């Protein structure tokens, strides 16, 4: 392994800059996700049409079966917790935690509508501070769909997660690949950054693409003590009726973009949103429909 690649791995494994304020970041995350919840409720069917494949993959890799006890970290609107609950019923249990109370409210509603609320428990909490009253609590599987990338102290979290698993229990998670392979997110963010001449987030900053380096991700699991680590990379597709529909989704769900534009004039904001629509047209077919293929990295490790 060359020295450049090794240095990249070290950055990802530590996953935090020396000047980074974790508490401030988490407070911002909580507020952002709470603010985005209403938009996610409006768009969750569109999102899940593309994302459900990831939930199924995570659950499959975790080898979840009826009767299992499962923990879902950073569940958001309830995935992959809901998918796992369908596998563990009738006698299993799924505990789902998230930092956002408003996102959890959507998850609870989804669980109730599917008749799964009896075997699902939702808790508001920080995924880095997993605290259960019964310290002997052990899970057969722990899951996270697009959550690990936002943890400032990933190395410590992975060790704690492994300790919460039964012998041979599995941690199964999904993260995004490199920005160029995830137009679902990067098209919007890159367009706005270009419009307002803003730099990309510094290396080591938690965010959607923080764990896109496969070897670094695998190394972080290995250093936490996980065994039989397997990684699977595959494609998922998000579909939109039009480029304008794609932009509207991000206007309602991507509070990170609103934060980027907070100090801009109304004219600049309008130009930024229009730039997103223009960028997405390259993916539109002759009818104006947009299909965005994105690369997802799924990883599983055994205690």
Rounded Cα distance between 22 and 155, Å, is: 14
Confidence check: pLDDT of 33 > 90: no
Cis peptide before 90 (omega within 30 of 0): yes
Cα 250 from chain centre: 16
Rounded Cα distance between 185 and 211, Å, is: 15
Rounded Cα distance between 87 and 68, Å, is: 9
What is the average pLDDT across 48-57?
Answer: 96
Answer whether residue 50 is part of any domain. yes
- In the chain, the number of structural domains is 1
Confidence check: pLDDT of 212 > 70: yes
What is the pLDDT at residue 39?
Answer: 86
Answer whether residue 279 is part of any domain. no
| DSSP-based three-state secondary structure for 258 | helix
Answer whether residue 15 is part of any domain. yes
Answer whether residue 125 is part of any domain. yes
Average model confidence (pLDDT) across the chain: 90
What is the pLDDT at residue 128?
Answer: 77
Confidence check: pLDDT of 96 > 90: yes
What is the pLDDT at residue 19?
Answer: 64
What is the average pLDDT across 218-247?
Answer: 97
Answer whether residue 99 is part of any domain. yes
Residue from 124, 154, 92 nearest 299 by CA: 154
pLDDT tens per residue, range 98-145: 999 999 999 999 999 999 999 999 999 887 777 776 656 799 999 999
pLDDT tens per residue, range 146-199: 999 999 889 999 999 999 999 999 999 999 999 999 999 999 999 999 999 998
Answer whether residue 198 is part of any domain. no
Rounded Cα distance between 30 and 260, Å, is: 17
Confidence check: pLDDT of 8 > 70: no
Domain encompassing residue 43: 3-178+204-237+294-302
Confidence check: pLDDT of 18 > 70: no
Answer whether residue 65 is part of any domain. yes
**For residue 44, what is the domain's CATH number?**
3.40.50.150
Answer whether residue 61 is part of any domain. yes
């Amino acid at each position: 392994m060359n020295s450049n690649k090794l240095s990249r791995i070290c950055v990802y494994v530590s996953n935090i800059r020396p000047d980074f304020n974790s508490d401030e970041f988490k407070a911002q995350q909580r507020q952002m996700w709470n603010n985005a919840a209403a938009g996610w409720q409006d768009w969750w069917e569109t999102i899940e049409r593309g994302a459900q494949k990831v939930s199924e993959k995570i659950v499959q890799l975790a080898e979840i079966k009826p009767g299992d006890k499962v923990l879902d970290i950073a569940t958001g609107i309830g995935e992959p917790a809901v998918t796992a609950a369908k596998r563990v019923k009738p006698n299993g249990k799924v505990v789902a935690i998230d930092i956002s109370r408003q996102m959890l409210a959507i998850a609870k509603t989804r669980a109730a509508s599917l008749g799964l609320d009896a075997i699902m428990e939702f808790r508001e909490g920080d995924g880095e501070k997993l605290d259960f009253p019964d310290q002997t609590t052990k899970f057969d599987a722990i899951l996270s769909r697009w959550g690990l990338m936002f943890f400032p102290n990933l190395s410590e979290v992975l060790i704690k997660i492994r300790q919460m698993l039964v012998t041979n229990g599995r941690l199964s998670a999904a993260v995004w690949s490199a920005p160029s392979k995830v137009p679902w997110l990067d098209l919007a963010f890159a367009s706005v950054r270009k419009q307002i001449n803003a730099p990309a987030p510094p290396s080591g900053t938690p965010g959607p693409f923080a764990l896109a380096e496969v070897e670094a991700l695998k190394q972080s699991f290995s250093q936490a003590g996980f065994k039989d680590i397997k990684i699977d990379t595959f494609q998922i597709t998000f579909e939109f009726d039009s480029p304008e529909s794609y932009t509207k989704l991000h206007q309602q769900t991507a509070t990170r973009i609103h934060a980027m534009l907070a100090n801009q004039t109304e004219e600049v904001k309008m130009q930024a949103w229009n730039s997103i629509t223009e960028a997405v047209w390259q993916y539109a077919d002759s009818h104006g429909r947009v299909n965005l293929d994105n690369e997802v990295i799924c990883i599983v490790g055994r205690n």
